[in-house]
Amino acid sequence: MNEKYVVTSVDERRRFGTAGKENVFFDIQIETRRGSTGSIQIAQADYDKEKVQAALDALYERLELPFTLGES
């Protein structure tokens, strides 16, 4: 279990491009242990465990950055 953040929601979204092509995305929201929240959007083609994990970890690092500025 990931102790740094928790996934609070996952929503499937369908969008249509200019040529009428349907694109499927997943919006994933997290909350960090410090209470920060954020979300990412992942295309269906990239929706696998490794890519989602990497994207969520990167989001976590961006959200935590202001808290770590005074730390050495």
Q: Give 65's contacts (C-beta < 8 A, 6+ positions apart).
A: none
Q: What is the pLDDT of residues 8-28, one digit of tens each?
A: 999 999 999 888 889 999 999
pTM listed for this prediction: 0.84
| Contact present, 24 and 12 (Cβ < 8 Å) | yes
- Mean pLDDT to the nearest integer, 24-35: 96
Q: Percentage of the chain with pLDDT > 70?
A: 94
Q: Could you tell me which of 35, 45, 32, 42 has the C-alpha nearest to residue 2?
A: 32
Sheet containing strand 22-32, edge to edge, reads 5-16, 22-32, 37-43
Q: How confident is the model at residue 63 (pLDDT cuts 50, 70, 90)?
A: very high
